[in-house]
Amino acid sequence: MIPIIDSKRQYASIQNEVEKEVINVMRSGSYILGKHNKAFEQEMADFIGVKYSVALNSGTDALHLALRALDIGAGDEVITVAFTFVATTEAIGIVGATPVFVDINPDTFNMDANLIEEKITPKTKAILPVHLYGQPCDMDKIMEIAKKHNLYVIEDCCQAIGAEFKGKKVGSFGDIGCYSFYPTKNLGTMGDGGLAVTNSETLKNRMIALRNHGGAVRYYHDEIGVNSRLDEIQAAILRVKLNYINDWNKKRREHAAFYNELFKDCKDIETPKEIDNVYAVYHQYTVKVPNRDEVHKMLQENGIGAMIYYPVPLHLQKVHSHLNLKEGLLPHTEHDTKLVLSLPMFAEITEEEQRTVAKTLIECVAKCKSAMTAV
């Protein structure tokens, strides 16, 4: 079996460092908002290239509290995409706002910035682009539109830690950038974790209060907040892993290039594309294939841990049925969610494993095509 990701291999490479730090935290007696949390926030701000970061307990809360910090709520609209994990729109719904969907660029799976302006109304308060699969969005165009219409920008970087657009880290363009440290992420911890980054001291202070029950001073509460603190053990683990993220992302890019080479002669497999001047980090290596569901089933039967991210776009899911959005609204999104297939991708994958994945996929696609032709 070749898994979609193998966290055990990564752990084996840093086991001694991680276990030392975790034991030290356990011995310290300081488990919440301690020295590792503070140090990690500074290290992440430096890494992204922003002034401030706020460590949280999930990427979902990072998105949620970013919207709260910008006073986005009931009656407001947020422009985003339907081709993403539900947390993106879940956060919008939690604050009482309404997601307004734009279609994707089929080359990148990301928000088509050329379609944003036609969705802007007097209720629009923000644009929420998603750097899906670790591929940066066209942030120049998005920021230009936001400035023109006086809109906030919240970047969903939950799959894109370390990705760059024109030499600048994603998350540093908008008002707030949001990250997830779920275990399968490029920078993943051993539990849940998240982060919000900003250049605004006001927004930083607001999110710090919101993560701690709505108060900046202990036992004094100014508004309804949440409990969304990154614990010390997870912060300590992330500090160790942060030292390796550039190397791990570089290896993912090398693996993506190798996959591209392996698939170059197979016209039925469409490989990922990068727009100009980006540094993608390939949280997922996602191809488009015909007969996707049958191909996926065959891969699983042959021990290849491919996954479908995501099979049904959010505008057609029950959670957003109240919006009364119909099929056909987002043609590229709806088309590509029927074709996408993510292949095993992690820093430690071997060339031999990649060759096996590629060979098996090519064979499965050919068999499905032959079967369909016969019918």
Beta-strand pair 124-127/152-156: parallel
247-289 pLDDT per residue, tens: 999 999 999 999 999 999 999 999 999 988 999 999 999 999 9
Beta-strand pair 285-288/52-56: unpaired
Would you write out the chain's pLDDT as a tens digit for each of its 375 residues?
A: 999 999 999 999 999 999 999 999 999 999 999 999 999 999 999 999 999 999 999 999 999 999 999 999 999 999 999 999 999 999 999 999 999 999 999 999 999 999 999 999 999 999 999 999 999 999 999 999 999 999 999 999 999 999 999 999 999 999 999 999 999 999 999 999 999 999 999 999 999 999 999 999 999 999 999 999 999 999 999 999 999 999 999 999 999 999 999 999 999 999 999 988 999 999 999 999 999 999 999 999 999 999 999 999 999 999 999 999 999 999 999 999 999 999 999 999 999 999 999 999 999 999 998 876 765
Nearest-angstrom CA–CA distance, 199 and 297: 46
CB proximity list for 206: less than 8 A, separation 6 or greater = 68, 69
Q: Residue type for 111, please?
A: M
- Per the omega criterion (within 30 degrees of 0), is the bond before 219 cis? no
Residue 252 class from Cβ within 10 Å (0-12 exposed, 13-18 middle, 19+ buried)? buried
Q: Residue type for 28, please?
A: S
Read out DSSP for 45-59?
Answer: HHHHT-SEEEEES-H
Whether the model clears a pTM of 0.75, i.e. scores above it, the answer is: yes
pLDDT of res. 91 = 98
pLDDT of res. 374 = 61
Q: Residue type for 164, please?
A: E
Q: Are 198 and 50 in contact (CB under 8 A)?
A: yes
Nearest-angstrom CA–CA distance, 33 and 337: 40
pLDDT of res. 128 = 99
Of the chain, the end-to-end C-alpha distance in Å amounts to: 31
CA 243 to chain centre: 20
Q: Are 234 and 26 in contact (CB under 8 A)?
A: no
* Coil vs helix vs strand at 249: helix
pLDDT of res. 208 = 97
Look-up: residue for tokens 């907040």? Answer: 225
pLDDT of res. 375 = 54
Structure tokens at 165: 């657009």
Structure tokens at 75: 């009656």
* Coil vs helix vs strand at 198: strand
Q: Are 363 and 22 in contact (CB under 8 A)?
A: no
Q: Quick one: CA dihedral 334, 336, 338, 341, positive or negative?
A: negative
CA 195 to chain centre: 12
Nearest-angstrom CA–CA distance, 105 and 111: 6
